[in-house]
Amino acid sequence: MKSIDIRNVRTGVYDYALPLCDANTVNSAVAQLRTHQKAWQNTSLEQRVKVVKQLAHKLNENKTELVSALIADTGRYKESILEVDVVIKGIERWCEQAPAVLQSKEEKQAEVPFLKIKQTIIPYQVVGVISPWNFPLLLSMVDAIPALIAGCSIILKPSEVTSKFVTPFQKVLDQVPELSKVFSVVTGAGETGQAVIESVDSLCFTGSVATGQKVAAACAQRFIPAFLELGGKDPAIVCHDADPIIAAKALCWGSMVNAGQSCMSLERVYVHKDIAEAFITELTNNVAKLTHNYPDVTQGDIGPIISDKQVQIVQTQLQDAKDKGAEILCGGNVVELGGGSYCQPTVITNTSPDMLVVKDETFAAILPVVIVDSDQHAIELANDTVYGLSAAVFSQNIDYAHQVASELDAGAVSINDASLTALVHEMEKQSFKLSGLGGSRMGKESIFRFVRKKAHIRNVGVESPWWF
């Protein structure tokens, strides 16, 4: 099998050969899944839940090995531990939620008096999951687990940038034989992803808008559903009556945590002129205190930029901002440490709307701040984007904060806080604009995305034959 060399995020050395699964490998994996899926679908929901819970148990037992691989993939420590814990917790929650969502319903009287109806739900046979590099395990499982519980089988293609976790994950899967028959992992880059799209019955994709658009077109061509969770440029509005100290602390965290490499990172701030000075001073002080997790991966706040392509994007955006006259209040560069590339925690002012760092997704520890004359102007600027993932609003008047939030084109808005979306498992939410397409990945709908509803209807009141 062909392979490509993958760069070590902390040393910069291309030291890992990633196997590139071709279309034949993908097709035979999917053929195998199809032969086993029927039995999985026919297994009782109770049993499927039991088997998926075993996966959580085995993930926990093998946590040390998984965390090591995730550290090798992403160059970060605390977040890698958290990632495994969040997956385990998520599995428990979906297992609790599933019975209420998936339980088959008794036959009942239809509105038409002589008919009885029974609704059944039929899972898609094979669901493809294509995931990105920023949370390699979590963003592979977030769609796979509810789909498995619904009775589907899964073919997963993780990002080529962060696939070292696949080996320990496969070992975990092998310890749950019932599940390993309906869960396959293939490694590779875009071509392997395309082969997955060509062979599955439904597709979940998490990644950039550019790739998401290609994926959507390919799925449309095959007439299969595509659930797309894409990029963002999440705005925060710090209103005239916000507490500048709280806003500065929350936004320091919301923009810098995971080195800014979360889809729900806050990537631009619009602050009212009346509190701008206090806010910007506090924000800059907070951000300037953050340190890199180098040389000790277990210390510090900010890990390396995980993808080498992203390094280029971040450098280009910083240079563009400097060339167009931005003021760098702290940070401002990508630095090389031990061969890894780290973005200095950066706050930028004196920006203009045409700067790349203000309008394009950055995905790094950089926060541009724009001073506005009114909260209304902040709303207009926040909405002036192709993205609509999430946002944040800061105001000491909660009714007013809700009012501002309601005017924002985004799927979720944190109030006087940052990135709360990640914590609310039961909340159904969708992406606006180019940030995504399809049903909610959270809440009951996350499971319902993977089944089709079917009606059985029969005549119980009119003498047959009643047709002409």
CB closer to ligand NAD, 119 vs 213: 213
Among 8, 74, 97, 134, binds ligand NAD (CB under 6 A): 134
Segment 161 to 190, residues that bind ligand NAD, using CB under 6 A: 189-190
CB of 447 to ligand NAD, least distance (A): 17
Query: Is residue 234 involved in binding ligand NAD (CB under 6 A)?
Result: no
CB closer to ligand NAD, 110 vs 313: 313
Among 70, 130, 144, 391, binds ligand NAD (CB under 6 A): 130
Asked about 204 being catalytic, the answer comes back as no
CB closer to ligand NAD, 265 vs 284: 265
From the list 72-80, 178-186, 205-213, 372-380, the region that binds ligand NAD by CB under 6 A is 205-213
Query: Is residue 303 involved in binding ligand NAD (CB under 6 A)?
Result: no
Among 37, 206, 286, 351, binds ligand NAD (CB under 6 A): 206
Note the maximum CA span of the chain: 83
CB of 61 to ligand NAD, least distance (A): 27
Query: Is residue 267 involved in binding ligand NAD (CB under 6 A)?
Result: no
CB closer to ligand NAD, 250 vs 389: 389
Size of the site for ligand NAD (CB under 6 A): 30
Distance CA 16, CA 6 (A): 5
Distance CA 276, CA 296 (A): 36
Asked about 95 being catalytic, the answer comes back as no
Among 97, 187, 194, 317, binds ligand NAD (CB under 6 A): 194
From the list 49-57, 75-83, 90-98, 152-160, the region that binds ligand NAD by CB under 6 A is 152-160
Distance CA 388, CA 409 (A): 6
Q: Give whole-number Cα distances, 445 to 46, 93, 101, 147, 390, in Å.
A: 19, 14, 9, 11, 19
CB closer to ligand NAD, 313 vs 381: 313
From the list 12-20, 110-118, 124-132, 330-338, the region that binds ligand NAD by CB under 6 A is 124-132
User: Per the structure block, which two tokens stand in for 94?
Assistant: 């979906």
Query: Is residue 160 involved in binding ligand NAD (CB under 6 A)?
Result: yes
CB of 163 to ligand NAD, least distance (A): 9
CB closer to ligand NAD, 218 vs 404: 218
Query: Is residue 133 involved in binding ligand NAD (CB under 6 A)?
Result: yes
CB 128 within 8 A of CB 196: yes
User: Per the structure block, which two tokens stand in for 411?
Assistant: 């799927």
- The CB-nearest residue to ligand NAD is 193
Query: Is residue 229 involved in binding ligand NAD (CB under 6 A)?
Result: yes
Query: Is residue 436 involved in binding ligand NAD (CB under 6 A)?
Result: yes
Nearest in space to 165 (alpha carbons), one of 154, 173, 155: 173
Among 125, 140, 202, 211, binds ligand NAD (CB under 6 A): 211
Among 75, 123, 146, 232, binds ligand NAD (CB under 6 A): 232
Nearest in space to 392 (alpha carbons), one of 278, 213, 269: 269
CA dihedral 101, 106, 111, 114 (to 10 degrees): 160
Nearest in space to 351 (alpha carbons), one of 466, 294, 267, 451: 267
Q: In the beta sheet, which residues pair with residue 266? A: 234
Task: Give yes or no for a cis peptide into 295 (omega within 30° of 0).
Answer: yes
Among 73, 143, 361, 375, binds ligand NAD (CB under 6 A): 361
Distance CA 256, CA 445 (A): 30
From the list 7-15, 93-101, 127-135, 391-399, the region that binds ligand NAD by CB under 6 A is 127-135
Among 123, 193, 244, 303, binds ligand NAD (CB under 6 A): 193
Which residue is catalytic, options 79, 83, 178, 229? 229
CB closer to ligand NAD, 187 vs 351: 187
CB 388 within 8 A of CB 434: yes
Residues forming the site for ligand NAD (CB under 6 A): 130-134, 139, 157, 159-160, 189-190, 193-194, 197, 206-208, 211, 214-215, 229-232, 263, 307, 361, 363, 389, 436
Catalytic residues: 229, 263
